[in-house]
């Protein structure tokens, strides 16, 4: 029991410290950011967004959002997908 | 190629910041004593997000993305043939990465093109005749961030690569135990890591049977005489000397022999290069289409590790230009260095040969006699006559970047 408790603590600590590192990633404050955070950060840290900037065209960001949904199975509804793509184009586009 | 931009930025980070009006990147704020010397040609957003960060058990690496973790080695870690385990780059596609328990871990070998399924634990693997090879593991997209125009993906600089002495069991010996049939055309490789959502295609790859059965293709359980680090595939990974890292499945859990081409996303849609554009020799015929083919063997390449762009050198004193070179396992014939921007080339001295799949070190001495800029370049050639690209070969995913580097040294 004690070992299990310690293991759980260690796991919890590891998860928290990873999250703390990720929190240093600050995307631009702009309309749609909440949808980006809510829909994208379940599967990956948000540094993937600025890393891929500023060189994608509007069509390029549309393709990235479509890839996340169609190829990687991200459960994002159409309305949110449009808000996310518009945010990316406006803030991290070419 | 020297662009106006790189010349401007060669003068140093100070002028770069002043020139672009950018906020001070965090790497200078947090790590003022250790500038990352990221090439100016990388995307601006990548350069401002990159920081030195330390994963458990690793020395500081350049963090490109936290989750899934993608961390490259600073070039200072790439000055030797062997990259130490704690300096070795980290590359994952998906975020759910379990800590594998070596005591309960099993590797399953079977499939429709095998006569039976067999399962081996870590201690079982060590009962096979061991093989060792010194081999470079390089991400297919190493240097993607230097592609012009930029393409989306992990925007790697020069450090998505490392070379280790791998020890393990031949894939062929493992497949023999499962009774591999002659109908096998591909061997499917699967590992323990996966996506957060079960709708995300697992990172699963296949190798053509001919490559899987080569003497140097193995399941490795040791890296530089030690167990593999968690971040590099503990307790065992596939090692495919000469081929890009995409086939080097980490945390390997199954080898499946099949009679039809594997249909998974990571074979059919990802890791493909246009057909006929690159000088690659190794064919993956069962996966070829009319327009593209899976990436296979690495292209010949080199990296200057002794200096970074814009470095100061002493006028009238000997400067040693040194670095590493490699290819897809055909063997290097020479590395040439130019200290005059490519007008003349001199053959560099090569270090000890650790076999055709290893990094090769090279060095060349020169004395700058004129104050000011000296453009230094390196160019490797292999034994089948391939050399590095002088014009970038564009491709949608930014693979096989082997453009000849040009660094400006300032003599004063």
CATH number at residue A59: 1.10.760.10
Q: Considering the domain boundaries, does residue B97 fall inside one?
A: no
The pLDDT score that the predictor gives to residue A18 is: 52
Strands (E), B328-367: 332-338, 346-347, 349-350, 360-366
- Residue at a domain's end among B267, B294, B321: B294
pLDDT at position B23 over 50: no
Structure tokens at B325: 């070179």
What's the per-residue H, E or C state across B221-244?
EEECCEECCHHHCCCCEEECCCEC
Q: Considering only the beta carbons, identify the residue of A21, A71, A74 that sits closest to B53.
A: A21
For residues B173 and B343, what is the distance between their CA atoms, to the nearest angstrom? 51
The pLDDT score that the predictor gives to residue B37 is: 84
Mean pLDDT over the full length of chain A: 86
Q: Which residue from B120, B128, B85, B132 is spatially nearest to B226, judged by alpha carbons? A: B85
Range of the domain at B23: 4-81
Question: pTM for this structure?
Answer: 0.90
| DSSP states of B177-188 | HTTB-TT--EEE
Q: Considering the domain boundaries, does residue A36 fall inside one?
A: yes
Q: Residue B407 is part of a domain; what is its CATH number?
A: 2.60.40.650
Contact call for B195 and A52, based on CB within 8 A: no
Closest-CA distance of chain B to residue A7, Å: 12
Range of the domain at A45: 27-92
Interface with chain A: mutation pick from B99, B152, B200, B397, highest number of A CBs within 10 Å:
B152
pLDDT at position B405 over 60: yes
Q: Considering the domain boundaries, does residue A63 fall inside one?
A: yes
The pLDDT score that the predictor gives to residue B229 is: 98
Q: Considering the domain boundaries, does residue B88 fall inside one?
A: no
Which residue in the block uniquely carries the two structure tokens 């992990």? Answer: B154
The number of residues in chain A equals 94
Q: Are residues B369 and B245 in the same domain?
A: no
The pLDDT score that the predictor gives to residue A20 is: 62
Structure tokens at B108: 């399953």
Q: Considering the domain boundaries, does residue A10 fall inside one?
A: no
Structure tokens at B17: 């910041």
Q: Which residue from B240, B199, B206, B191 is spatially nearest to B220, judged by alpha carbons? A: B240
* CA A13 centroid distance within chain: 22
The pLDDT score that the predictor gives to residue A82 is: 98
> What are the φ and ψ backbone dihedral angles of A92, each rounded to 5 degrees?
-130, 20
Q: Are residues B189 and B217 in the same domain?
A: yes
Contact call for B49 and A25, based on CB within 8 A: yes
Chain A window 48-67: which residues touch B at a Cβ cutoff of 8 Å? 48-56, 60, 64
Q: Considering only the beta carbons, identify the residue of A22, A52, A75 that sits closest to B155.
A: A52
For residue B331, count other CB atoms closer than 10 A to its CB.
14
pLDDT in tens, B272-308: 999 999 988 899 999 999 999 999 999 999 999 999 9
Q: Considering the domain boundaries, does residue B28 fall inside one?
A: yes
Q: Are residues B141 and B226 in the same domain?
A: yes
Q: Specify the 3-state DSSP secondary structure of B331.
A: coil
Q: Are residues B266 and B332 in the same domain?
A: no
**How many folded domains does chain B comprise?**
3
Between CA B113 and CA B119, with CA B114 as vertex, the angle to 5 degrees is 135
For residue B279, count other CB atoms closer than 10 A to its CB.
18
Confidence of residue A19 (pLDDT cuts 50, 70, 90): low
Q: Are residues B248 and B129 in the same domain?
A: yes
Q: Residue B260 is part of a domain; what is its CATH number?
A: 3.90.420.10
């Amino acid at each position: 029991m004690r070992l299990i408790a310690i293991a759980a603590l260690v796991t919890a600590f590891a998860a928290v410290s990873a999250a703390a590192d990720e929190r240093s990633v600050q995307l631009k404050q702009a309309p749609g950011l909440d949808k980006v955070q809510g829909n994208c950060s379940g599967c990956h840290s948000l540094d993937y967004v600025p890393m891929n900037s500023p060189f994608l065209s509007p069509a390029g960001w549309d393709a990235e959002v479509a890839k996340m949904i169609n190829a990687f199975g991200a459960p994002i509804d159409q309305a949110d997908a449009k808000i996310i793509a518009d945010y990316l184009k406006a803030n991290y586009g070419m | 190629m020297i662009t106006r931009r790189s010349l401007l930025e060669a003068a140093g980070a100070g002028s770069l910041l002043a020139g672009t009006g950018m906020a001070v990147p965090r790497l200078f704020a947090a790590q003022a004593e250790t500038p990352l010397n990221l090439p100016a040609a990388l995307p601006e957003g990548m350069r401002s997000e990159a920081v030195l960060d330390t994963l458990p058990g690793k020395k500081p690496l350049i963090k490109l993305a936290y989750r899934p973790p993608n961390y490259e080695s600073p070039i200072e870690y790439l000055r030797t043939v062997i990259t130490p385990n704690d300096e070795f780059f980290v590359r994952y596609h998906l975020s759910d990465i379990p800590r594998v328990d070596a005591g309960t871990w099993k590797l399953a070998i079977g499939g429709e093109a095998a006569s039976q399924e067999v399962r081996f634990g870590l201690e079982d693997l060590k009962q096979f005749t061991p093989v060792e090879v010194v081999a470079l593991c390089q991400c297919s997209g190493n240097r993607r961030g230097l592609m012009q125009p930029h393409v989306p993906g992990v925007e790697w600089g020069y450090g998505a690569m490392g070379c280790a002495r791998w020890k393990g069991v031949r894939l062929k010996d493992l497949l023999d135990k499962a009774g591999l049939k002659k109908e096998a055309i591909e061997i499917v490789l699967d590992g323990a890591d996966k996506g957060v959502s079960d709708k995300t295609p697992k990172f699963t790859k296949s190798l053509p049977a001919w490559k899987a059965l080569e003497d140097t293709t193995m399941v490795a359980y040791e890296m530089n005489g030690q167990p593999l680090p968690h971040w590099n595939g503990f307790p065992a990974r596939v090692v495919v000397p000469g081929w890009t890292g995409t086939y080097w499945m980490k945390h390997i859990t199954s080898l499946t022999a099949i009679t039809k081409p594997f249909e998974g996303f990571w074979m059919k849609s990802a890791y493909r290069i246009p057909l006929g554009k690159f000088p690659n020799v190794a064919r993956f015929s069962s996966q070829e289409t009319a327009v593209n083919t899976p990436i296979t063997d690495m292209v010949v390449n080199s990296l200057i590790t002794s200096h970074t762009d814009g470095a100061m050198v002493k006028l009238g004193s000997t400067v040693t230009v040194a670095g590493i070179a490699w290819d897809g396992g055909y063997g290097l014939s020479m590395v040439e260095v130019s200290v005059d921007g490519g007008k003349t080339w001199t053959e560099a001295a090569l270090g000890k040969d650790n076999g055709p799949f290893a990094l090769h070190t090279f060095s060349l001495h020169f004395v700058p006699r004129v104050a000011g800029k000296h453009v230094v370049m390196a160019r490797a050639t292999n034994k089948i006559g391939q050399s590095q690209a002088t014009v970038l070969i564009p491709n949608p995913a930014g693979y096989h970047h082997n453009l000849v580097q040009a660094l400006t040294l300032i003599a004063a």
